[in-house]
Homo-oligomer: A and B are copies of this chain.
């Protein structure tokens, strides 16, 4: 029995409110249960050095948590002088995940920056950031097309992410914090809209896991992301 009373294959309620910010080219507030993330896509002219004069675009991400997104107040990263290793690791994942669905030549030599700021955390923040980040990206790209800046659609697919894990001996979908902190195995799956695997991170926290467990978790992730893809499509239509 899960602490929340959910079935093993049951996600938390997910809502996506688009246009949450006034200024960003694309934005949303995504809520996965009590995990709330503001995702903002900003379109800019400057690309990283390695992309200059290549005609290719770039997508990158920054991730942070408000100090009181968590149960006890965390130190503000700007006061600490640098983002934590955890934040950097997560934002690198978000960037890779969202780049996977973009044709960089069609995007052209410009950069879209995704800012994913967690305002309330209850497990699965990186997955919510990817799922909501895609929505913000979709909206920003659409505006580029509507403004006639780019002629074709550089978004070649959807991208969404969900966590799975082994909790109390059972494979479960979409861990909340109370499960995450007790799980034997914790994993994050990034998939594309056709079910292709984009990225997979799976860690044993207590006990090693078997190939069978991995297959179970993957199946759960597929069913979860199928739901998320539909929610994304609804949000941006």
The interface of chain A, by Cβ under 8 A from chain B, is: 21-24, 27, 34, 38, 40, 42, 44, 62, 64, 66-73, 76-83, 85-89, 91-92, 96, 100, 113, 115, 117, 119-122, 191-192, 194, 196-204, 207-211, 214-215, 218
Contacts and interface: CB of A to CB of B under 8 A. Distances in A.
Contacts of A78: 64, 76-78, 80, 82-83, 87
A197 B209 contact: yes
B23 A71 contact: yes
A42 B68 contact: yes
A42 B100 contact: no
Given A64-B78, A68-B23, A119-B38, A196 B218 contact: no
13 contacts: A27-B68, A62-B67, A66-B115, A68-B115, A78-B78, A78-B82, A85-B88, A89-B92, A197-B204, A198-B208, A200-B203, A201-B201, A214-B214
Contacts of A214: 197, 200, 214, 218
A198 B214 CA distance: 11
Given A89-B89, A200-B214, A208-B194, A24 B62 contact: no
B215 A197 contact: no
